[in-house]
Structure 1
Amino acid sequence: MLKTPAARELEPVTIDPMLRDRMLGLRGRGSRPRIILAESHDERVLRAAGALAEVGVQPILIGDGNEVRNRARQLGITDADPGWSVDDPARLAAGRTGERIRSSAERKRPELAEQWLTDPVFLAAAAVKEGLADAAVAGADRPTADVIRAGLSIVGLAPDSSLLSSSFLMRLRDGRYLGFGDCAVIPVPDDEQLSAIAIATARTFAAITDQHPSVAMLSFSTAGSAQHSDIDRVRLAIEHIRSRCPELEVDGELQFDAAIVESVAKSKCPESAVAGHANVLVFPNLAAGNIGYKIAERLGGAAAFGPLLQGLAAPINDLSRGASVSDIVNVGLITCLQALTPAADAQQRTTSTAHTFTTK
């Protein structure tokens, strides 16, 4: 059932101030990223498109133009220039995006080619791959697995990436931002995967916030206070990180309190350059990460943006099926910031002083 305009007025769109400022700053330098929103049939997505346009983004909706605009009018979205455009799925399927989908399907799942050609999530991924848009967001009414499958099948992994993982951007009640990884994709990462997750999460955090990442590898032990094979995996991961990205500020193993509370850090690991002020927290497995971000959100009052996919050749992000309009807008802005921050720039921020799927 569609909500009345009066009901919708009770749900104002709340845009994260840091994300708004970052995007408006980039817009002031002439950048206006194009983002594909796959689910134009969803009221939340239509409202989010208008909000994104207001802060310097060019939203592109996939759907029949007349149907989308009629639906917008029914919802009270009647601006003469809403700031977004519509791409017809049949037109996309008949062009370069369709060729991309057929080519990908022939290599991986030829029996699904025709299905993918009518799937807006796959069309969105192909449009990004072909340069028709800079980024894409999907998943408002689809499982995480569908979005990941489209990203991997059509866009593929980045040349320097061997793993698709995820992170969340968390805004705490005091205004601080933290990166949490991995909370949605890799159930039990080995030491190599854990190191890849840490580096990817640091780069994602830097790209979004423009802050220098300080990475804590979490465990139930701090600096050798306990011995266990799970702790050994974390220690090996740190060795890999220091070998691959030697200037990244990283330490562990650290318990959560030692990672973020300065007084605890001084007591447990006073020599650590990370302990007490970490802003990127890497969990040892998916259970810990998923539980951790939901505790921070539900009991700690943090805002959770994600899951943000890491490792793809182009930015495509997932939405919770329970996402609000504000959630869609904020994840859309994050995805655009990822598109506007080349991988090399994000990597520089991490080194200077400046597949298994889960459902939602």
Structure 2
Amino acid sequence: MQALDRIIERAKASPKRIVLPEGFDSRIIQAAARIHKEGIADPILLGESEQIMRRAEKVGVDVSHIEIINPANSDMLLEFGELVYQLRKTKGIDRKQANELAKTPLWFGNLLVKTDYADGSVSGAVHSTANVVRTAIRALGVRSDAKMVSSFFLMVFDQPHHETLRGSALFADCALIVEPTAEQMAEIALATANNARVLLEDDPRVAMLSFSTSGSARHPKVSKVQQATDIVKDRDATIQVDGEIQFHAAVQPKIAKHKVIDTQVHGRSNVFVFPSLEAGNIAYKMIQLAGGAKAIGPFLQGLNKTANDLPRSCSVDDIYYTIAATSVLANKSTPAAIG
């Protein structure tokens, strides 16, 4: 069974309440209707009820049984305004400004998660990643055992021509950390490895990517990846990790056998950690658009509670699978809080 099928199956087994702050977007409405109909999660749409109903009718879906909350006149607004004030008063915000912020979809949605009214949030179909992540960090906070918030994509290779890579893998960080230090790259690897256990239901096999393999080149950028690999090994000896390593050696056992010294992964990586946002962002989009792989995410890791992003170019299917995976990650019985 493919990873996406398993994610759907697991989400149905324990549906979570997932808030969708961009409830006015037609793609969000269609995905929410499908999610609700299939019993994958209990979606909450934010926005003006009549507007959402009109758009649902226009795209031919039924949202009459889905909870819709208008932040502008919600009974929770007074409480949420005070929450925003307490969270942001040291930054010079007054109560009037806090009340206005609490009405905005991203803030209101994250506060539903913060107060446990919802188990997770998914947004980004309309808002930029910067806005989504900034609000999530301010509303939910960063985990005490995490130094930053990073991200990963779930990549699904399910086409007949996908011979080198089959099944699913996680790519990190392709959305947030521009130029990670060795310490940050290691933290990204450790967080993503733990999320691989949750989403892929498999032992993580981590490739710390570079333009060099096992010291084949000397450069400060190579040294950074080598240092990051050593940190991962020191902090969690249970994780199989190779680095620094080139992509082809990370996915082809024959090449790994000849190029990688003391390999733990043997060319069968399922977690790929990129040395920069530039490399990761270009790579995932090339593999998605030119290679025909599915790219779901980005999923955020390092927050106190579950909140995930969408690319503004997302399709209904992208939203559907992101909601399902968010429901799985929000399951408190798994180590999903790492994400």
TM (norm. structure 1) is 0.85
Match of 2:140 among 135, 155, 158: 155
Counterparts of 1:303-314 in structure 2 under 5 Å?
303-314=294-305
SS at match of 2:266: coil
Match of 1:318 in 2: 309
Match of 1:108 in 2: 91
Counterparts of 1:56-205 in structure 2 under 5 Å?
56-78=40-62, 82-89=64-71, 90-91=73-74, 93-108=76-91, 110=93, 112-172=97-157, 173=159, 174=162, 175-205=166-196
SS at match of 1:293: helix
Q: Is the 8 A contact 2:11 2:325 kept in 1?
A: no
* Aligned-CA RMSD value: 2.1
Match of 1:225 among 202, 216, 220: 216
Residue by residue over 1:257-297, the C-alpha shift from the partner in whole angstroms, topping out at 9 and shown as x without a partner, is 11110110111126312131011010111111111111111
Q: Displacement of 1:146 after TM fit?
A: 0.7
Residue by residue over 1:5-49, the C-alpha shift from the partner in whole angstroms, topping out at 9 and shown as x without a partner, is xxxxxxxxxxx9633433334534xx2200000111111111010
SS at match of 1:98: helix
1:263/1:210 Cα in 2 relative to 1: closer, same or farther (>3 Å)? same
CA distance in 1, matches of 2:244, 2:91: 39
Structure 1 unmatched ranges of 5 or more: 1-15, 348-360
Q: Displacement of 1:160 after TM fit?
A: 1.3
Residue by residue over 1:172-229, the C-alpha shift from the partner in whole angstroms, topping out at 9 and shown as x without a partner, is 1345101111111111111111111111111222221212110010111111111111
1:341/1:98 Cα in 2 relative to 1: closer, same or farther (>3 Å)? same
1:130/1:217 Cα in 2 relative to 1: closer, same or farther (>3 Å)? same
Letter paired with 1:84? I
Q: Is the 8 A contact 2:15 2:39 kept in 1?
A: no
**1:259 maps onto 2:250 in alignment:** yes
Q: Displacement of 1:132 after TM fit?
A: 0.5
Q: Is the 8 A contact 2:229 2:241 kept in 1?
A: yes
Letter paired with 2:276? N
TM (norm. structure 2) is 0.90
Residue by residue over 1:137-161, the C-alpha shift from the partner in whole angstroms, topping out at 9 and shown as x without a partner, is 1111111111001111000111211
Q: Displacement of 1:83 after TM fit?
A: 4.3
CA distance in 2, matches of 1:207, 1:341: 11
CA distance in 1, matches of 2:167, 2:48: 41
1:246/1:107 Cα in 2 relative to 1: closer, same or farther (>3 Å)? farther
Q: Displacement of 1:346 after TM fit?
A: 7.9
Match of 1:206 among 184, 194, 197: 197
| Mean Cα deviation higher: 243-252 or 218-227 | 243-252
Q: Is the 8 A contact 1:39 1:61 kept in 2?
A: yes
**1:46 maps onto 2:29 in alignment:** yes
Residue by residue over 1:94-138, the C-alpha shift from the partner in whole angstroms, topping out at 9 and shown as x without a partner, is 253333222222133516524412210111111101000000011
Residue by residue over 1:230-277, the C-alpha shift from the partner in whole angstroms, topping out at 9 and shown as x without a partner, is 111111111221222221111211111111101101111263121310
| Mean Cα deviation higher: 248-257 or 91-100 | 91-100
Count how many residue pairs are aligned between Structure 1 and Structure 2.
328
CA distance in 1, matches of 2:20, 2:172: 25
Q: Is the 8 A contact 1:181 1:201 kept in 2?
A: yes
Letter paired with 1:147? V
Residue by residue over 1:43-80, the C-alpha shift from the partner in whole angstroms, topping out at 9 and shown as x without a partner, is 1111010111114210001123333223323332247x
Q: Displacement of 1:343 after TM fit?
A: 5.9
Q: Is the 8 A contact 1:257 1:264 kept in 2?
A: yes
Structure 2 unmatched ranges of 5 or more: none
